[in-house]
């Protein structure tokens, strides 16, 4: 028996929203309709082989990292120009504003930039922005050495179960650390198809996060704690006999999936075509244009796999997913979600 998923976040788009727009390759192209001022925006030109470009308010609006490469952070004066009250302004860079191309932007709101108690933490982030209501945070920090017991206070008030981390001052693969498989700390790499490996870092707590890094450097970490009715991070088993249904407790807006073997990171959102069965996917680990495999259906309380493709339905294999809501199944206002 399913328990109805009540949440204090009745409007998911106050914290996460996908915004599609048509690029014009002109400076000062202002995009509105996001619904908030983003603190983290991830761009992908859906029709061309531009890299995924990611910007956040903690590192600075001109500082780009790429999801599909191990490259260091670069300064792109023509990429993102500003985060605005209802969106953002982009420049002439094709990855975020290619002429007559559809650009997908995935936007997260954090916004609290002070108030975390340093306590006895061994790493002090030089800057951060968090949203404890939605269980999300961005942290800019540096490390000398590689102690697995180093930690910083994250301020989310709940235990993060998913982390995306990138070294910014040098070439290094992305780390995607998660505890959703069996409670231990596992790791994969966002910029490639590498299979799961066990990680020796200490498990996160409701107060502290213990980042893994093998070398001295500067880093950014994006942390996510699950919030009922807004976000969920978990696993499912691939099955060719019975296509899996994944219960999230909300109608998804954005889902990222990878099997723990050597497959792609699939991203599906509710705006790129945005209706069943025509839900096309992009690959976080690749600069390729949008694929047209139509691999999942979004429903009012989760998503269903509708293919035997190994990326999302590797038979008898664990898949890890991150999901953010378009609307809760039932909010605290007792308004139910619909499938479309």
How do residues 91-142 score in pLDDT, each as one tens digit? 999 999 999 999 999 999 999 999 998 778 889 999 999 999 999 999 999 9
Token readout for 125 is 């982030």
What is the band of 215 on the pLDDT scale with cuts at 50, 70, 90?
A: confident
The whole-number pLDDT of residue 42 equals 98
As a whole number, mean pLDDT of residues 19-44 equals 98
Decide: 304 and 243 in contact? Cβ < 8 Å: yes
CA 12 to chain centre: 15
Report how far residue 231's alpha carbon sits from residue 116's, in angstroms, rounded to the nearest whole number.
23
| Sequence-distant (≥ 6) Cβ neighbours of residue 335 within 8 angstroms | 10
- Put simply, whether the predicted model's pTM sits higher than 0.85 gets the answer yes
Note the pLDDT tens digit of each residue in 147-176: 667 899 999 999 999 999 999 999 999 999
Bridge partners, 16 (sequence order) = 108
Report percent pLDDT > 90 for the chain: 82
Note the pLDDT tens digit of each residue in 290-339: 998 778 999 999 999 999 999 999 999 999 999 999 988 655 555 555 55
Report how far residue 8's alpha carbon sits from residue 331's, in angstroms, rounded to the nearest whole number.
7
Bridge partners, 152 (sequence order) = 209
Of 201-205, 268-272, 293-297, 309-313, the poorest mean pLDDT is in 293-297
Q: Is the pLDDT score of 340 beyond 60?
A: no
The whole-number pLDDT of residue 201 equals 82
The whole-number pLDDT of residue 77 equals 95
Report how far residue 130's alpha carbon sits from residue 112's, in angstroms, rounded to the nearest whole number.
5
Of 60-64, 68-72, 141-145, 192-196, the poorest mean pLDDT is in 141-145
| Sequence-distant (≥ 6) Cβ neighbours of residue 229 within 8 angstroms | 5, 6, 7, 8, 9, 12, 249, 250, 325, 328, 329, 330, 331
Report how far residue 30's alpha carbon sits from residue 90's, in angstroms, rounded to the nearest whole number.
6
Of 2-6, 229-233, 256-260, the poorest mean pLDDT is in 2-6
Q: pLDDT higher for 214 or 290?
A: 290
The whole-number pLDDT of residue 1 equals 45
């Amino acid at each position: 028996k399913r328990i109805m998923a009540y949440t204090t976040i009745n409007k998911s788009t106050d914290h996460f929203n996908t915004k599609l727009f048509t690029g014009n390759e002109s400076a000062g192209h202002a995009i509105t309709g996001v619904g908030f001022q983003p603190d983290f925006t991830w761009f992908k030109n859906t029709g061309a082989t531009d890299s995924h470009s990611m910007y956040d308010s903690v590192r600075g609006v001109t500082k780009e990292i790429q999801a599909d490469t191990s490259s260091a952070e670069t300064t792109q004066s023509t990429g993102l120009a500003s985060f605005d009250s209802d969106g953002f302004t982009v420049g002439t860079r094709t990855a975020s504003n290619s002429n007559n191309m559809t650009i997908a932007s995935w936007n997260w709101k954090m916004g609290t930039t002070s108030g975390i108690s340093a306590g006895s933490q061994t790493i002090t982030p030089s800057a951060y922005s968090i949203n404890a209501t939605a269980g999300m945070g961005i942290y800019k920090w540096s490390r000398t050495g590689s102690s697995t017991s180093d930690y910083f206070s994250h301020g989310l008030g709940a235990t993060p179960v998913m982390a995306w981390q990138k070294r910014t001052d040098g070439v290094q693969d992305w780390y995607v650390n998660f505890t959703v498989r069996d409670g231990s700390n596992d790791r994969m790499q966002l910029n490639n198809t590498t299979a799961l490996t066990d990680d020796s870092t200490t498990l996160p707590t409701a107060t502290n996060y213990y980042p893994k890094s093998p070398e001295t450097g500067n880093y950014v970490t994006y942390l996510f704690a699950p919030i009922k009715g807004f976000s969920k991070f978990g696993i499912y088993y691939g099955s060719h006999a019975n296509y899996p249904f994944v219960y999230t407790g909300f109608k998804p807006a954005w889902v990222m999936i990878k099997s723990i073997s050597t497959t792609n990171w699939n991203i599906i959102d509710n705006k790129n075509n945005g209706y069943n069965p025509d839900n096309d996917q992009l690959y976080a680990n690749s600069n390729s244009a949008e694929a047209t495999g139509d691999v999942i259906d979004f429903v009012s309380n989760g998503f269903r796999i509708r293919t035997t493709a190994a990326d999302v339905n590797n038979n008898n294999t664990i898949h890890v997913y991150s999901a953010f809501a378009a609307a809760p199944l039932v909010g605290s206002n007792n308004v139910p979600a619909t499938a479309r």
